[in-house]
Amino acid sequence: MSIAIIVEGKNDRARLRRLLNLEVAIYCTYGTPGNETLNQLHKTCFHDEVFLFMDNDAAGKKIRSLLRDIFPDAIHMYTRKGYAGVEGTPNEYLITQIEKAGLEAYILYPDRDPA
């Protein structure tokens, strides 16, 4: 089974792409998705194990709600309030959330600072 993570925007996708190998597909809603985008995501990810990783703000909660209806079995990943969305979340916290979701086998761990 393939793995798909759905995020809000291209900056969120770019942020996660640096931390995950290419086996994990990352799709964007590009803001609040309309019916066409929702249908396309459903068609594309229907047979995948789906993870939803939205910002912890009103827009992210709305998008998560729309996607929850289409992907009722999706695993939900959360960023912390106070962070500037997924794109503004520190790598350490993103890695923790990815590990909690059970995706540690796909993480590209950054080199540790020798200092």
For the chain, the domains span 3-106
Residue 81 has a pLDDT of 83
Percent of the chain exceeding pLDDT 70 equals 96
Segment 17-67, tens digit of pLDDT:
999 999 999 999 999 999 999 999 999 999 999 999 999 888 999 999 999
Residue 66 has a pLDDT of 95
- Of the CA atoms within 13 Å of residue 98, those in its CB half-sphere come to 28
Q: What are phi and psi of 29, to 5 degrees?
A: -90, -15
Percent of the chain exceeding pLDDT 90 equals 82
Cβ proximity of 74 and 4 under 8 Å:
no
Query: Domain 3-106, what fold?
Result: Dna Topoisomerase Vi A Subunit; Chain: A, domain 2 (3.40.1360)
Q: Is the dihedral of CA 39, 66, 61, 77 positive or negative?
A: negative
Q: Which of 26-30, 76-80, 98-102, 107-111 has the lowest mean pLDDT?
A: 107-111
Taking the C-alpha atoms of residue 31 and residue 8, their distance in angstroms, rounded to an integer, is 6
Higher pLDDT, 36 or 111: 36
Average pLDDT for the chain: 92
Residue 113 has pLDDT above 80, yes or no: no
Residue 110 has pLDDT above 90, yes or no: no
Global pTM? 0.91
